[in-house]
Structure 1
Amino acid sequence: MEVCKILHMNSGVGDESYAKNSLLQQKATSIAWPVIKKAIEDLCSENNNSITSLSIADLGCSSGPNTLTIISNLIKHIELHNNKPFQYQIFFNDLPSNDFNSIFISLQNFLEDLKIQIGADFGTCFFNGVPGSFYGRLFPDKSLHFVHSCYSLQWLSQVPKEMEMINKGNIFIDSTSPKNVIDGYFKQFQKDFSLFLKCRGEEVVRGGRMVVTLVGRTDEYPSNQDYCYAFTLLNLALNNMVAEGIVEEEKVDRFNIPTFMPSPKEIKEEVLKEGSFIINELKVSKIDWNFYSTELEGTKHVFVDSSYNVAKCIRSVIESLMSPHFGEAIVEELFYRYSKIVKDEMSNKRSEFTNLTISLTRI
């Protein structure tokens, strides 16, 4: 599986699109905002007399409204706390298969909204799309002041080598996965995250800031809990289809999701080992799977079936990897079953997504 060629969030603005099913990611960014705000304040405060142009990159921007929201919030906060106008060089990065068009189409409205909220005389904005993997160089030396990334760095550059057929019956790390599978995923994470830090270390100016939020876990390696319960339930749906003869067992055995949810300790160790950045803050937060229910402001005693939306959220993220392997018809049936399993689980227990937000300064 060549991840960089096929991985992308569902494009467009349809019912199954990432744009319509990324409230989870929006909430993660909202929770991380105090950390992001502190980082940009410190950057501007320490360089108040020397910076007239700010280069900001959103890595793994995807195609929904979230990337424009974070850029808007950053610009508004900078303009609010600084007396001089800045020029903004904004970079949107994701893999080449990403739907960049939806971002570019929205830019005119984005600028008009900023003028209404800030005033017409705020700094000039220059926008750029940067297709490519962030597990490699993307920008010239010392060209970035601020880097943001949300819900992207749990994705690996590839499935760990030799995983095919070893992790039988599982599409991700599970309680039944052999130790060498867990070790393989962990080592791939170490390699990828270290390379990410090295590349950003070459691209970010000295004193520049980087804030990253990713899906993680709180227990230490090796985990005694599920690495990702959402994928465990997806695995259950697939294995049920295998038992009914709808999906070939070998197809499941040959499919592994290229992602890893690290712990705070694992993150800290890689940052210290690589050496380009110092850690300002590392925050752990939780998002309940019933996050859609909390969106009903001003209403009481209204039941919202969040399970349907959770299933669609996971589908919008993972479908591009599954459809080429299992076929579109199988994937349609799979997520129908998955939504029912998620609904049953949510009626019986409370489940949460764990987020890790880390604020870094370039040494």
Structure 2
Amino acid sequence: MNARNAAAAGRNPVGALLLGLGALVLTVLTAGWRGAAASYLAAWLALLALPVGALPIAIVLERFGLRRHDHGEGELSKALRRLVALMPVAAILGIPILVGIGRIYPWTDAAPETPLAAVWFTVPLFALRVVAYLAAWVWLAARFVVPAEDRADGRTVSSVALHAVVGTLAVTDLVGSLDHRLGSSLEGLLVLTAWSGLALAAAILLAPEEPAPIGRGRAVPGQDRLVPLVVLLSLWAFLHFVQFLIVWSANLPQEVMWYFARGGWLGRAFAGFGGAVVLLGALATLRPGRPTTRVLAALTVVLHAVEMFWFVTPALRDRFVIRMSDVFAAVAVGCLGLALRPLVRRLVPLASPRRRRSAAA
């Protein structure tokens, strides 16, 4: 679905809903219930990355960036908060994951290996944890969808800490428990970094260009957006490299098989594409500019969206391939998100009336 069709769907929620439901039916018809569930989970994680990934960046910008009562909130920060406002939509679209736990996660049919696993990995407790994760993120989104009125507001530190704990546990459950062959403690941080990179890149594409600064000490146009994006890309690449190095240098056959399942020609092409994007980001810092920043942002969105399928689908297919069910699932999640957004905006206001009046002022 191109940008023009997406915009048309956003203006016509009923059409977006019908298109999303139709794509969902095609997902099931092309892959069966189990394959469709895996495709839907990966597509949903890419959508979830927008509000969840934008949340810590919005918090950091509020803590260290410009505030409304100074020189006004920047366009990038406003775009990030618009992404944070998608959290209720992502939470609603997570309901099919709860319904399909038994079809998605292999541990539901396997005997527990430890006494803790016998308690922790049960369908009711798993579903309860996922609901708790989404509820915590919706609550955080409600707090940060508009800027704070008080400069001394101390909500930022505790909120970042809560997000880090919830995010690590959520990635362990939603992604890590799909494939028991990898026992990396870096996986949670790696996925959270990818989510923030995707969200920041999407915000860069959504945010209007701001006037170029003038006067002494002026920055290069686009540099204020390029640098944090390159930092996130570099951190993401470093975490991937460290995890890969530990697995291979420690000669862990079971975890090596986790990488073999994500290899093949498509997996190697994905790794090459990721390396090229990181290299492009590093080179772009030598000659920054707005067009370069937007191109890098678009490539980053594609990179991290595909990465969700790279993480999820080989757990059930034992190899990384992109199938038509993955494309249909991505269209379904995108269209259903566009259809639900205006309804959720009316039914679940994320900001209190007092803060809305202050933000409008």
Higher relative contact order (CA 8 A, sep 6+): 2
If the length of structure 2 is used for normalisation, what is the TM-score? 0.27
TM-score by length of 1: 0.27
Whichever structure has more strand as a proportion of its residues is 1
